[in-house]
Structure formats: structure tokens, C-alpha cells
Amino acid sequence: MHPHPSRRQFLGKMLALAGTGAMPFTLNLAAMGNAAAQNASDYKALVCLFMTGGNDHFNTVLPTDSGSWNEYQRIRNTGGTGSIALPGVGATGGVLPITPNSPQAGRSFALHPSLGPLKQLFDAGRVGIVANVGTLIQPTTLVQFKAQSVQLPPRLFSHNDQQATWQSTQAETTATSGWGGRIADLVASGNSNATFTCISSAGNALFLAGRTVRQYQISGTSAAPITKLNESLFGMPAGSNPLRQIITAEPTNLFQKEHAAVVARAINSQAALSSGMLAAGSGVPDPTPYINPNTGVATVNPLAVQLQTVARIIGGRSALGARRQVFYVNLGTFDTHDYQLTTQADMLAKLAHAMAYFDGVMGNLQGANMRNQVTLFTASDFGRTFTSNGDGTDHGWGSHHFIMGGAVKGKDIYGSMPVTGLGHSLDVGSGSLLPTTSVDQYGATLASWFGLSATQIADVFPNIANFSNRNLGFMNAA
């Protein structure tokens, strides 16, 4: 049970435990709790792109006004092969200037040289940037942080705990559900098959763990079947294959009985998903290889393959009876304690290539423009320190993130870009940023676009009541 269940959640759990006779009423109760999703005739999807390891945002989105750039070079250009500073503004192969719609007085900005495809999407108005996002329980000042006079997220700077807190708003040891899964709980009744509400193409993800909805995990480019289930087996023709009967037969032992039921559901779900993806397959081209900026070699981009899978599932949404879906994809590792310049250049090249590929597919999915219905956003464990060890950086806190889609108010930076340097009012140590935007505010803005009410958003994001600004404004109205 959820530690603080609502009446609807409590009744739903009790009715589910009561047995199959209560199931129709349970489903009706869920539907009443989400009339918006039930009445929705449109389709929407959220795609969480998690950059595992903690992306260095200081080399991802860079202030380039003279004061900022000079300070950046002073601190990060340590000289020789150990420098992690990027080439100068306007230099060949240097950072890529961007011009946000809303200027920040006296500031100018650029993207990492590997983010060329993302710069094009930013300039086209389909990508925006949210500055200095991080795990927070309530607005916090540097004085409060140092005095420990307000409640802080648990175990800051820890990979596992900050991944868990980003994805669930709780520490790893206490997290039982993720905010993507909690959003899915509230919209699943609008899908004719709730099985395909939460889908991960990157293994088990806390982000997609719901209180009631379970995530569907998929690897590769299709839903993998049980080997030999629908083929000839030991000389017996496919039509007489006994494997299905063996593994789904209903025994008398209750544990075996439940296992057989789970296996049967898995078989049926795989068949349904494979059929839906097959129907969409011709409308989802294979991604082109990406170019490794360090070697110049063209190779397969695993993130683009994950997003191809997501696109094929979205293409099969009608066959799957899906109106609202939440997806999770993953790219790692960004934990650049060493070799940061080359490692991050390659990782960001994969990121930009995959996002541009996905944007292109959504722009013409089976002859339809799905960009307005699908929003992708990035997340990561944390940012990194501004100071360097001469070859890399350490674990930080706040970081900058991208949102992409036709419904995004792109070509802009949301939130105030922090001062470049050390010893300022957001520096909690070594240039690690005290966040000025919470994950709750970031997620609540996406949830609002997805169709959740203010009450539902408060249920998904328990800390949102601590923040006065609960919608950051980077999404167009539904």
C-alpha cells in the first residue's frame, strides 16, 4: 500500500484484493477518477530521456558573454591535455551560438559543438532549455543549505539516491513509485489496454513504477516472444505445439496458478504489442548511423534504436487502444571523472543525433505530424562541479535540461541562467549549483500539459505545494 493513500487508491486496492467479482467496479472507480482521460479522443505521450551518470551541464549550455566566457576559460582551461574547456566562440569546431527568444540582460549563450542537430531544433522552435533544475523539497537559499535549516533531498551527490529522487521524489531506500508511473496511474483508464500505458525500452525504471500500473519492459526493436512458443517443436507442428499448454496450464497450487496467469498475460501482451508495432513498422525508418566526433567513424546509435522502438509503439497506438503513454529511454554513462572532453563529446553527439531522428519520425509518422502530441524531456542524476581535476569533474547538483516537441515553446531558456564562476550565491561547493528550479516544478509543467488537474498534480508531486510557481510555462496549452 502507498504510505499515504487517497480514498480512491484505498478503495481501489481493497476492491482488487476482494477478488474478481469486484473488478468491474474497480475499473469504473478508476474511470470516474479520471474523466479527462476517459473522454480524451486525442493522443499524448511523454518520453523521459535519462542521461545516467550526471551530465556536465557547464559544457552543454554555456554562457558566452565576455565576462562569463573569460571566467569559464580561467577555471576550466587548466592547460595541456588536462583542460576540459571547449573551443572559443565562433572558432571552427567551437561552441554553437544560440539566440533565445527571451534575452537575459547582458548574457549570450551557446551549445556544445556536438549538439549541432539540437541547435537546429532549438532554432526551429521545437526545443527549449530549462536552466538549473534539480532535486529540491522546498525553495532553498545558500544560507539555508549551509545551516541545514530546511529539509534537503536525501543523500545529495550520490548516484543511486539522486537517480531515485529525480525519478520518484524519494531516496532509493524508500522509493516505491516514480512520478511517470504515478502520472500513468491517473490516465490508464483512458486506454483500452492499461498494459501499454508505461513502457521502458531500457530495462526496469523506477520512473515508470506506478502505484497500480505496471511498466512494460521491452528490449531491442520488437517485443521478444518466448522461444519456440509458436514454432514447430521436437518434430511437432506449430499448431500442435504443447509448450503454451505446459507453461500456462492452470494448476491447483495457488502460487503456480498465479504464475501461469502472469505468463499467459505476458504471452498475450507480447502478441498484441508485436502486432501493433508491425503495423507501424513501415512508417518508422531505421535511424542513420551517427558520427563519433572523436574518431569520425559512423556507427549505430543505441539511443536512436530505443527511440525507434518508442516511435513504432506510438505508431501502433490505435491497435493498442492507447491514448496516453509514458516512455523511458536511457543513455549512459555521463559520469565523467576522467576523459570528459572526449567522453562527453561522444555522448552528446548520440543525444543530439537520436533526438533529431525522433523529431523527424514524429513529424511524419504514417503520414501524420505527431510532434504536437509527443513531448520528450531530458533528466540526469545531477549536474557536475565547475572545478576540474584536470581531466574531468565531480558530482554536482543542479543542471540544465532540454524539452522537445511541437507543443514546446521552444527557442528559449526558462529560468535564470546562473552566474558563471565560483563563490556566488548558488555555489554549494566547487561550483556545484544549488538548483533554482525543482524537479517537481519541471514534472508538474509536463503533467499539466498531459491533462492532469491541479489536484492530481499535487498527488503525483507531493512537494509541489512548497513552490509558488507550479507551471514553468514552457508548454503550449493543450
Q: Which three cell numbers stand for residue 224?
A: 521478444
Residue 333, preceding peptide bond in cis (omega within 30° of 0) = yes
Instruction: Name residue 464's amino acid.
Output: I
Question: What does the DSSP assignment read for 225-249?
Answer: PPTTTTS-BTTB-GGG--HHHHHH-
Its pTM stands at 0.88
pLDDT of 21 reads 35
pLDDT of 276 reads 76
Classify 350 as helix, strand or coil.
Answer: helix
The alpha-carbon radius of gyration of the chain (Å, integer) is 23
pLDDT of 160 reads 95
Q: Which three cell numbers stand for residue 73?
A: 576559460
pLDDT of 227 reads 66
- Smallest CA-to-CA distance from 224 within 191, 271, 183 is with 271
- In order along its 478 residues, the chain shows pLDDT tens digits of 344 444 444 444 443 333 333 333 333 333 334 444 444 459 999 999 999 999 999 999 999 999 999 999 999 998 777 799 998 765 446 999 999 999 999 999 999 999 999 999 999 999 999 999 999 999 999 999 999 999 999 999 999 999 999 999 888 888 999 999 999 999 999 999 999 999 999 999 999 999 999 999 998 666 666 666 666 666 676 655 677 667 767 777 777 777 766 766 676 677 778 777 776 766 899 999 999 999 999 999 999 999 999 999 999 999 999 999 999 999 999 999 999 999 999 999 999 999 999 999 999 998 899 999 999 999 999 999 999 998 999 999 999 999 999 999 999 999 999 999 999 999 999 999 999 999 999 999 999 999 999 999 999 999 999 999 999 999 998 6
Instruction: Quote the CA–CA distance of 471 and 72 in Å, as a whole number.
Output: 31
**Distance, C-alpha 127 to centroid of its chain:** 15
Instruction: Quote the CA–CA distance of 408 and 43 in Å, as a whole number.
Output: 16
Q: Which three cell numbers stand for residue 160?
A: 543511486
Instruction: Quote the CA–CA distance of 40 and 191 in Å, as a whole number.
Output: 10
* CB 322 within 8 Å of CB 44: no
Cα Dmax for the chain: 77
Instruction: Quote the CA–CA distance of 10 and 1 in Å, as a whole number.
Output: 8
Which helix (H) or strand (E) segment is 97 a member of? strand 96-98
Instruction: Name residue 439's amino acid.
Output: V
